[in-house]
Structure 1
Amino acid sequence: MSSVRIEVAGRSVQVREDLSIDSTGAKVWNTSIVLLRHLEKMRRKLKYDQPGRRVLELGAGCGLLGISLASMGWHVTVTDMAVMLPLLRENVAQARSSVATTDEQDASSNTTRLESGGTLTVRELCWGETDLSEFNGPFDCIVGTDVVFLERLVDPLINTLDQLGDTSTNVFICIEPRNAVAYDMFLKRAEQLYDIKQLTPDAEFRDDFVKLFQLRKRFLATSSDE
């Protein structure tokens, strides 16, 4: 077992990895750092620390990205499959004990409030299986790192993004295209619903193998609108 520690907006965030878990999410990958630093730079423009604004992380894994965003004052729901939830909850609890005010755990809602004013809510979400109506979309922002790796998960991922966001939702996806077929399939499916912009990370955090995208859903007219 190992830990990863980073500094975010003047605060220290640490998460534990557990490679004994049979999931790629049990390790912190470079894509989460690249996306985090991009969002950290944009945080004053995005203003997701304002009351009522909600951020969703898909495939949160160890939780480094979501916990870091909450340490910036954002209100984040971190999600993953059931196998990852014990480690994710452990790392969220560590964040509470290290940077949160005391007595700020709301056990009934599974939400943790940090000293920054940000909040973390841990939820199970299995693309294509979980009832998405329970998440009360749309979210203001959806983030995901290394979420494109199997062809059979591309359509469930796109469907999840579609149902939990709307035309005002910013979607940030950061991936290392290890599976070229899945990567091409994702872009082809996504461009049917979204305007896609490839972003350039800061030189300090740039990685030639990492692709960073911002997606905004297009307004699609229905027959009743025509």
Structure 2
Amino acid sequence: MNAEQFSSSIDLFCLPPDSERVLDADEEIFLIYTRLAGDGSSSSEPLGLGFVDSKSSEMTVSFNIEPPIPGLPEMTTSPARKSPGRDRKKQARARKSEPVFLSYVLEQDPSSLRSRKGDTGNVLWRASVRLCQLLLTEHHFPPAQPLLRRVSLETARVLELGAGIGLLACALGPLTGHYTVTDIEVLVPLLRKNVSRSALSPSRVTVTDFDWVALQNAPKSRRSTVFGVDGHGPFDLILCCDCIYNTELVPPLVEAINYAAPGSGTVVLVVAELREEDVLREFLSTWLESGSWEIWRLPERHLGVRTIAWAGWRKSSD
């Protein structure tokens, strides 16, 4: 079955027709990194860790969301284009809507990035910014096939795993029916502070801790004490953005995904910066083997060749 033949009972999510089904982790990772190596725009740059700014204690993240240009091709950076300024003027006149400017002020704790081993959630990472830009753009200027259908999102219950300082929660929380934003307990005060300063309604956004390792180690009868899915779900969408960086956390993360998405009505969207191949391979292999999951790789046009996005859901026969 290809993406064009795909039919989902999940009203919220729209699978792009040029998505590719993931059946084998080794093959998938080989394809991803082969494409990355062949991409001239990024092959000369080191992959790096992917944080935006590891020194500032406060930062402003701004999005200037441009409406689409009807009847005109996208801008190109080709040297053959002699008058980019003239083309921009034509495009500006063709716009039917005004651009949307959104800005979020977020606190960081860069000292903890250096002082607490393995604690990476105290600063903002590029993958979150890219995903935020994509979803905000599609929300304000919906394409023919947006990833998330706006009408369904307005009533959807969303869970974010490993939210860090909370950019996605601040930006997407007001667009959903209810947004549950989580991270480990030590990060919750910073996360709660950023959500609060964005003036988000507590009835719309819930901030709580969710420790995947504690969940994995807990007996099934006691797992609700680690994170009460029934109290916040059932979830229509689970977001997991840039949480794949440590092999030791792969099994707990997959366990958390399976726990929070027990049925076929939940879409899981996993986004990751391309760093170590082995960590991504282990995650994908573990996820594929953890149950009857159907997983698709989204087209690189959404987030660029340096960031991977997979969408998954349990098969309805589960």
Fold similarity call, TM over 0.5: yes
Distance of aligned partners of 1:10 and 1:217 in 2 relative to their CA distance in 1, 3 Å threshold: farther
Distance of aligned partners of 1:72 and 1:13 in 2 relative to their CA distance in 1, 3 Å threshold: farther
**SS at 2:153's partner residue?**
coil
Where does residue 307 of structure 2 map in the other structure?
A: 210
Following TM superposition, the consecutive aligned residue runs of length 4 or more in structure 1 with deviations greater than 4 angstroms are: 8-11
Task: In structure 2, list runs of 5 or more residues that go unmatched.
Answer: 1-56, 66-99, 139-145, 216-222
Where does residue 167 of structure 2 map in the other structure?
A: 64
Where does residue 199 of structure 1 map in the other structure?
A: 298
Question: What amino acid is the match of 2:228?
Answer: E
- Structure 1 Cα separation of the partners of residues 314 and 154 of structure 2: 22
Equivalent runs, 1:8-157 vs 2, <5 Å: 11-21=102-112, 22=116, 23-40=119-136, 41=138, 42=146, 43-45=148-150, 47-50=152-155, 53-96=156-199, 100=200, 112-113=202-203, 119-130=204-215, 131-132=223-224, 134-136=228-230, 137-157=233-253
1:44 positional shift: 3.3
Where does residue 3 of structure 1 map in the other structure?
A: 59
CA contact (8 A) 2:294 2:314 kept: yes
1:146 positional shift: 1.1
Distance of aligned partners of 1:127 and 1:6 in 2 relative to their CA distance in 1, 3 Å threshold: same
Question: What amino acid is the match of 1:128?
Answer: V
1 or 2 for the larger relative contact order (CA 8 Å, sep ≥6)? 2
Q: TM-score if structure 2 supplies the norm length?
A: 0.57
Cα deviation, 1:27-86, whole Å, max 9, x if unaligned, reads 111111222233332343572212xx3100000000001121113244211100112111
The structure that has the greater radius of gyration is 2
Q: TM-score if structure 1 supplies the norm length?
A: 0.78
1:129 positional shift: 0.9
1:145 positional shift: 1.0
Identity %: 28
- Structure 1 Cα separation of the partners of residues 62 and 177 of structure 2: 17
Task: In structure 1, list runs of 5 or more residues that go unmatched.
Answer: 105-111, 114-118, 222-226
1:10 positional shift: 5.6
Please state which structure has a larger fraction of its residues in strand.
Answer: 1
Question: What amino acid is the match of 2:294?
Answer: D
CA contact (8 A) 1:56 1:76 kept: yes
